Amino acid sequence: MQAIIECQNLTHYYGTRCIYTNLNFTVPKGRILGLLGKNGTGKTTTINILNGFLQPKEGNCLIFGEPSGKLSPEVKQKIALLLEGHVQYSFMNINQIEKFYSAFYPKWNKTPFYELMRKLKIAPNQKIANMSCGQRSQVALGLILAQDADLLVLDDFSMGLDPGYRRLFIDYLNEYIRSEGKTVLVTSHIIQDMERFIDDCLILDYGKILIQIPVDELLKTFRKFQFTHNENHIDWNGLDIYNPEITRNHAEFHAFSNSIDIKSLLLQSGIQFTNLTETQLTLEDAFIGLTGKY
């Protein structure tokens, strides 16, 4: 499958602070990749490198086969970028801002923009200045869709939206992207929204990739395990598990496994247990299980 984005051995620092080293990932054509991570793990840094706003200390990043820092005008026309923020021209109304933006994009298609405005019940003559924060976000997103780009890069796209508007937009965006065969790289702090939207997730920890995996596979194979232990200490060393804890004889951890294999693992490790339970996870639960609560 053709790779639209290829990042190879990316390393970046801010001063002496390492953001990550040897970051490698790809985004295949037609897939929606969610770039997930806690604050400060390098999500926006990665997007800035992809768009040529930052030069990594080491490594290469290719978009449509071209180095991200030297994209040709032809490739730039294939990319629609939304960074954190809103439409700046607040003195314009909906019709005016659509016509203004259309002059800059040869493939401009106003249909998805006005479809989204109708779903949000925003009138064509409504001024940006009189809109809520969430409505301004939706106008910005509608203008992104109207560019008819092959690759959409959306940084924290759901900022300022209440739950109803988020669901409305995600459903519309999902339908639009899949019907048009677009490729998407997206970040969001609202993980439960991503579960309904993305195909693959790439989870960043501080300085590295924890995992890149299709969401369906993650939710089928990653589990939370809990059991009762007679002491308040367990030696977890050498176990292939994530973020183990024990509090007042209650132990828990996460693992890519099932209860049968976990029972065998605990017995082999000499860990006494009773009341072992296995819990299926949402994407948000899996994210916390992989990265830790704090």
176's tokens: 């639009």
Q: Do 12 and 110 belong to one domain? A: yes
What pLDDT sits at residue 169?
81
3-state secondary structure of 292: coil
20-35 residue pLDDT tens = 999 999 999 999 999 9
Q: Do 157 and 284 belong to one domain? A: no
Q: Do 135 and 235 belong to one domain? A: no
Residues of the chain with pLDDT under 50: none
Domain span at 279: 217-291
1-23 residue pLDDT tens = 689 999 999 999 998 888 999 99
The single-letter code of the amino acid at 46 is T
Cα separation, 44 vs 35, whole angstroms: 9
Q: Is-contact 31 200, C-beta < 8 A?
A: yes
186's tokens: 């997206």
Q: Going edge to edge, which strands form the sheet with 183-187?
A: 79-82, 151-155, 183-187, 32-37, 200-205, 208-214
How long is the chain? 294
Q: Is-contact 57 13, C-beta < 8 A?
A: yes
Domain count across the chain: 2
Last residue of a domain, one of 206, 233, 263: 206
Cα separation, 147 vs 140, whole angstroms: 11
